[in-house]
Structure 1
Amino acid sequence: MPASYQPGEGWMYGHGMDFAAYVIEQKTGQRLDEYLRKNVFAPVDVSRDEMSFFPIREGLGDRMPDLSPQDPEGLGLAAVGGFNSYDGGDVCYGGHGAYVTARAYVAVLKSLMKNDEKILSRAMVEEMFKPQLQGKAYESLQAAFSGPGGLAFGCGTSGEDRNMGLGGLVTGEDGDGGLGKGSLIWGGGHNTVWFIDRMNGICGIASPQLCIPSNVKAAMELKSAFRTHLRHVLAHA
């Protein structure tokens, strides 16, 4: 499909991660799941069976939670539209379809928060947390926040100085969405949102598993309260 914008001319939620995954596979000669297991999960001591794009095929189906009330058998039916993330094919999409344990998810976030160089170099992690958009692209992001998908794009934040980093949304104000200034946060269709707050030394995931349509605003407020609580607990530990 043609791009919605030329580089630097705008911003919109899209399939960039799917294209990035395809480039990785072509460059390395590895399937994305094997590349991730070797270069992302193994360095932080995540075992092979804690991550899968094809959990049912690999015998992990009984470990999968219900993703929505319409998925009582835990087959991977998404809360958005009812499609099956596990489609029986052999494609590993960079933007969706991976299943990981909560421990594995947090292990990756923790490594990036501590910048321990187990997954990425220190310089690359620092680049991830830098605001990347300016000019028309930045203005387009702000317009998206004001649009129908603004609550979801904001992931529970609302500050004026938000920008996109490499991999997620960068907060511009201390306390925005329960996070410190310069935190990285992002989420997806199931409403799972991850965050890395280096200022306060906290990271994690929150996953209300909404069934659309639903009260997205209430879910965002709940996740913000969760992050605020973590900051409070840490400050008084």
Structure 2
Amino acid sequence: MFKLKPIFAALAISTSLLAFSGCATSQSPSASVATPPPSVLPERVAAMRTVLQDGVDKKVASGFSAALVDSYGRIESTYVGLADVETGKPITPDTVFRLYSMTKPITAVAIMMLVEEGKVDLDAPVSTYIPSFAKTVVYVSGDTLETLKTEPAVRQLTVRDLMRQSAGIPWWGPTKPVERLYAMNGIERAPSEPVPGFKGPRVANLQDLADRVAATPFTNQPGETWTYGIAIDVLGRVVEVASGQSLGTFFKDRIFTPLGMKHTAFQVQPGDKENLANVYFAVSKIKPATGGIDSYVKSLKDVPMHEALRPGDPPAKSPFLEPARIEFGGAGLVGTLSDYVRFARMIAGQGELDGVRIIKASSIAEMGKDQLGPKANANLVKQGYSYGLGFGTVVDSNLYPSGAPVGTMFWGGAAGTQFWANPQTKEAGVLMTQVLGDYLRTYQVNAARAAIGQPVQ
């Protein structure tokens, strides 16, 4: 069984910071003018490919695929390296990737659809939909579980708190007291990843997950600060309660089928089983000088040759081939590059794609706003972004690693996937890979530079 290591949370964040901010070239005939200008930058896609090939050559990843979309809906894609090193299977347009945290924006869109229908109120207490959240407590002090002190929440959590990840709901972890309590309560954070050391019954469904979260102290008072974790998994239960459908059924009926996302689901589809990529841990004995999972070197020349790519989830035995035990709204989907491009194009199209409207333009605008404010987003704004409703949003192009325009909406996943969409320029981009390890961010940054026509470092 594939087990993500504790770097899951940090990597999910770090890989989301590097959204592309350029446009692309070629195929789709959805332009709204009779004669669009020449395809802007086919050479940018070629430059991206050069960057990604260097990462494959140095065993930073087994392979990559990427696509850019311009304001005329033209799409240019590239595929580099292998989906499975052991079998020699290349990455192709059919390759299926684990999306992990790139599931979160889809769950957020589902919530906004229900808001538009009057079935969910963003500012209603979560207890309206999940009664166990009526009385919650917040961590105050204590370095160990024995010295832990809590206090009642000053107000009830709202749906908006969950959407903007300001609810104080983290992941389990081995060090911080609240994260250790999450582990003690068996609160899982991703498919196929049991909590190490937990001997009790595993989480049965989204209701069980939400109830366990409600019974565990939060890291901060509601709305006080941004805390990345499983808040949007709890939102998945809100979708179920408000819609009367399972999360997977709602996604399929209301989002995936209308958008033509035929390969995206909580389980690899029967016809796609041969296309699932492996996940690798990139092994390097030489760490970035600054240390830590979020660190990177700017120049590709400074990236060392890695010793190995260690397989983490062999496709033939992957639990993603089986029906999902829990449909994690924050981490559970698999899908293809082209499918996620369609989702990104819908966001860039202000809620509409190819004449199909999923949500209103006003909902997209609300999701792309900074929902945190200067106190709650203090750590994020140093990197040029904040958090909206289920999406990161660029607030300072000069500080943001790729220089993306203000208002660009984006996010990424633990295994290196990432996307961006700009509703103002109607441009979008998606990068897919399946790797955890040092130096990946260097390639994401430089691929982003190539995508906007800047020199690769």
> Normalised by the size of structure 2, how large is the TM-score?
0.41
The reply on whether 1:110 has 2:333 as its aligned counterpart is no
Partner of 1:74: 315
The answer as to whether partners of 1:106 and 1:204 remain within 8 angstroms in 2 is yes
> What is the match of residue 188 of structure 1?
413
Q: Which of 248, 251, 254 is 1:39 aligned to? A: 254
2:449 corresponds to 1:228? yes
Distance 1:116 1:171 in 2: 19
Structure number with greater CO (CA < 8 Å, separation at least 6) is 2
Measured at CA, do residues 65 and 135 of structure 1 come closer, stay the same or move farther in structure 2, by a change above 3 Å?
same
The share of aligned pairs that are identical, in percent, is 23
1:116-127 alignment, distance < 5 Å: 116-117=351-352, 118-127=357-366
SS of residue in 2 equivalent to 1:186: strand
Structure 1 residues 15-34: aligned runs within 5 Å: 15-34=230-249
Give how far 1:116 is off: 4.4
Partner Cα distance (1:9, 1:92) in 2: 28
Please name the residue that 1:61 is paired with: 273
Q: What code does the residue aligned with 2:428 have?
A: C
1:139 and 2:378 correspond? yes
Question: Any conservation in 2 of the 1:11–1:138 contact (CA below 8 Å)?
Answer: yes
Offset at 1:141? 4.1
* CA deviation vs aligned residue, 1:48-78 (integer Å, no higher than 9, x gap): xx1221227x45321211122414731586x
CA deviations over 1:61-108 (Å, ceiling 9, x no partner): 21211122414731586xxxxxx5667653211011211121111101
Cα gap change, 1:139 to 1:173, in 2 (>3 Å): closer
The answer to whether residue 290 in structure 2 is matched with residue 51 in structure 1 is no
Answer yes or no: is the 8 Å Cα contact 1:12–1:141 preserved in 2. no
Check whether the contact 1:200–1:231 (CA below 8 A) recurs between aligned residues.
no
Distance 1:89 1:51, change over 3 A: closer
- Structure 1, unmatched stretches of 5+, are 78-83, 146-157
Partner of 1:155: none
Asked if the contact 1:180–1:200 (Cα under 8 Å) also holds between the matched residues in 2, the reply is no
Deviation track 1:187-221 (CA, whole Å, cap 9, x = no partner) reads 12112111113454421222343233x22xxx223
SS at 1:194's partner residue? strand
CA distance in 1, matches of 2:324, 2:257: 25
Equivalenced residue count is 204
- Farther off after superposition, 37-46 or 97-106: 37-46
Shift of 1:169: 1.6
Aligned AA (1:52): A
Tell whether the 8 Å contact from 1:168 to 1:184 is kept in structure 2 after alignment. Answer: yes
Taking the aligned partners of 2:312 and 2:340, their CA distance within structure 1 comes to: 22
| Higher gyration radius (CA) | 2
Give the whole-Å Cα distance in 1 for the aligned partners of 2:324 and 2:258.
Answer: 28
1:211 maps onto 2:211 in alignment: no
| Matching residue of 2:397 | 174
C-alpha distance in structure 2 between counterparts of 1:226 and 1:131, whole Å: 26
AA aligned opposite 1:13 = Y
Question: Structure 1: how far apart are the matches of 2:435 and 2:372?
Answer: 30
Gapped regions of structure 2 (runs ≥ 5): 1-215, 281-309
User: Does structure 1 retain, via aligned residues, the 8 Å contact 2:232–2:330?
Assistant: yes
Structure with more helix by fraction: 1
Distance 1:74 1:209 in 2: 12
Q: Report SS of the residue matched to 1:52.
A: coil
Please give the per-residue CA displacement for 1:104-128, whole angstroms capped at 9, x wherever unaligned.
1110110110114422111100111
- Structure-2 change in CA distance of 1:27 and 1:199 (3 Å): closer
The 2-side partners of 1:136 and 1:97 are apart by 31
Match of 2:369 in 1: 130
| Structure 2 residue matching 1:109: 3-state secondary structure | helix
Q: Which moved more, 1:67-76 or 1:89-98?
A: 67-76
- What are the Cα deviations for residues 151-195 of structure 1, in whole angstroms up to 9, with x where unaligned? xxxxxxx33xx2111122211233631422221121121121111
